[in-house]
Amino acid sequence: MMLAGRTIVITGAARGVGLAIAKACLRHGARLGLADNLEDLVRAEAATLAADGGSVRFVPINLADPASITAFADDVARTEGTIDGLVNNAAIATNVGGAAFEDIDIGLWDAVMTVNVRGTWLVTRALSPVFGPDCRIVNMASDTALWGPSRLLAYVTSKGAVISMTRSLARELGPRGIGIVAIAPGIMRNEATEYVPAERHAHYEN
């Protein structure tokens, strides 16, 4: 899909992978809606990108709060009418590893599932009325869901669920002309992965 003049919404866009995706889309002429709960940071990034001549606006969102997701979708519908692309990138990825499976805090487990799995579903559902006729959706999974590292069970499970969700949604959205894929990148050096031990980074870099 050519991006010039297309409206792309990206969640988790304040930093890391989401911000990199936003910059790449902007270079190809897309109009951007950046969503994140790190409000001050994403506002600053949106202002910086807009100052370079891009069409960029910020929409606050809290993926743990269904009411926030509804308000976010209403804002997008009111200002954009339709969207041409959605990147479900927002997720809890920081400080979610290290504990053995029997020691994982239940509150942490629930938070990861709420944001990474339910949040991806609710954002997609909330925005579905404004999907353009050839809208494309990218769900951010992780290669950890494919090889299953130890002591990262909540995150790995959540990203496996995102992959399965995407397969099922493809069957529902495909007949409407809407494409959806999940991508599963390896670990990247950014703010969200600063806690990851050096040897795990080395696993990917060697």
147-158 confidence digits (pLDDT tens): 999 999 999 999
Strand-pairing partners, residue 131, are: 83
Distance between CA atoms of residues 132 and 50, nearest Å: 24
Angle of CA points 90, 95, 101, to nearest 5°: 105
Amino acid 201: pLDDT: 44
Q: Which of 33, 120, 155, 196 is catalytic?
A: 155
Predicted TM-score (pTM) of this structure: 0.89
Candidate ranges 2-6, 23-27, 58-62, 124-128; pick with highest mean pLDDT: 124-128
- Check: CB of residue 84 under 8 Å from CB of residue 132: yes
94 within 8 A of 192, measured Cβ to Cβ: yes
Nearest Cα to Cα of residue 134 among 82, 70, 81: 82
- In angstroms, rounded to a whole number, what is the distance separating the alpha carbons of residues 192 and 14? 11
**pLDDT score, position 206:** 39
Q: What six digits make up the tokens of 115? A: 């944001």
What burial class does residue 179 get, using C-beta atoms within 10 Å of its C-beta: 0-12 exposed, 13-18 middle, 19+ buried?
middle
Q: Is residue 111 exposed (0-12), middle (13-18) or buried (19+ Cβ within 10 Å)?
A: middle
Helix (H/G/I), strand (E/B), else coil: 94: coil
Tell me which H or E stretch contains 34.
strand 31-36
Mean pLDDT (the chain, rounded): 89
For 6-10, what is the mean pLDDT?
Answer: 96
Burial of 17 (0-12, 13-18, 19+ CB in 10 A): buried
CB 83 within 8 A of CB 76: yes
pLDDT at 203 over 90: no
Residue 195 annotated in active site: no
